[in-house]
């Protein structure tokens, strides 16, 4: 290890707040998968799963000064849209009646996204 490497400080600093600007609860995981396929324009897109909820989110990119400042100074991030559905048991894919197959990623090990999933479940 070089002297430069030994002087590097690494720390974990999670977001302090996630602001969800718009949310939609779908009746079924299949409806959620159908929506995901449509917005992805036929490209492969995946969903997240934790705490019995399957979901997808769109963060507001910190491309303007105000959003970047909120992120850096306050640890606040904005999600412009969250779509979700209750899905008590994790499954690696959701297949719709139209034979669309959407992958689902189990992110239960992520404390922040698990907390979001619990919050979404309370909104139902």
End-to-end CA, the chain: 51
Does residue 6 form part of some domain? Answer: no
Q: Do the domain assignments include residue 2?
A: no
Shortest CA distance to 36 belongs to which of 116, 102, 107?
102
Residue 103: pLDDT above 70? yes
The band of 43, judged by pLDDT with boundaries at 50, 70 and 90, is low
Task: Specify which residues 82 forms β-bridges with.
Answer: 23, 57
Residue 110 within a domain: yes
Q: Find the mean pLDDT for residues 63-74.
A: 76
What's the mean pLDDT when you consider all of the chain? 88
Looking at the predicted structure, is the pLDDT value of residue 113 above 80?
Answer: yes
Domain that holds residue 111: 14-123
The verdict on residue 8 lying in a domain is: no
pTM summary value: 0.84
Q: Give the HSE-up count for residue 92: Cα atoms under 13 Å, Cβ half-sphere.
A: 0
- Of the candidates 83, 115, 120, 106, the one whose C-alpha atom is nearest the C-alpha of residue 15 is 115
């Amino acid at each position: 290890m070089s002297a430069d490497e030994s002087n590097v400080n690494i720390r974990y600093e999670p977001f302090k707040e996630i602001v969800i600007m718009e949310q939609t609860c779908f009746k079924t995981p299949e409806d959620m998968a159908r929506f995901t396929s449509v917005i992805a324009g036929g490209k492969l897109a995946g969903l997240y799963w934790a705490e019995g909820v399957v979901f997808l989110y769109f963060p507001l990119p910190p491309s303007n000064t105000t959003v970047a400042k909120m992120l850096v100074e306050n640890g606040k991030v904005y999600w412009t849209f969250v779509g979700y559905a209750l899905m008590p048991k994790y499954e690696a894919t959701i297949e719709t009646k139209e034979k669309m197959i959407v992958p689902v990623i189990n992110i239960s090990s992520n404390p922040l996204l698990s907390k979001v999933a619990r919050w979404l479940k309370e909104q139902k």
